Amino acid sequence: MRKTDAPQSVDDYIARVPEPGRSTLNKMRTTIRSVVPKDATEVISYGLPAFKYKGALVYYGAFANHCSFFPGSAQLIEQFKDELKDFSLTKGAIRFPLDKPLPAPLVKKFVKARITQNDLKKRA
């Protein structure tokens, strides 16, 4: 994708994703929005939808054969690894099927943990 073809907004990014990935991303976006502070912002960063709050919070996206959630912390992936045993993991990402979103309670747990990390980081 050329830079001029890059999505200019999260809405634009999601609109370009074919089903069933589009519905999965919309569910993830709604789940994340339900727990982020009111002053968190949605952006496109590194070509992916992201939320920022006192710095980068979380990223998510759709790919050819899967969706991914990037919690922004390898430490959290390790911390919650028992709850992630049904998913494909990399050091920084959780991969899941295009048609099966990550469970909302798990996404919320990651987002809340990242908010706490960013709050603590800004105080230091």
SS3 32: helix
pLDDT in tens, 28-58: 999 999 999 999 999 999 999 999 999 999 9
What element of type H or E holds 109?
helix 104-123
Token representation of residue 61: 């996206």
Token representation of residue 30: 């709604």
DSSP code of 5?
G
pLDDT tens string, the chain, 124 residues long: the values are: 445 588 999 999 999 999 999 999 999 999 999 999 999 999 999 999 999 999 999 999 999 999 999 999 999 999 999 999 999 999 999 999 999 999 999 999 999 999 999 999 866 5
Where does 3-114 sit in CATH, by number?
A: 3.90.1150.200
Residues near 54 by beta carbon (within 8 Å), at least 6 away in sequence:
118, 119, 121, 122
Q: Where are the domains of the chain?
A: 3-114
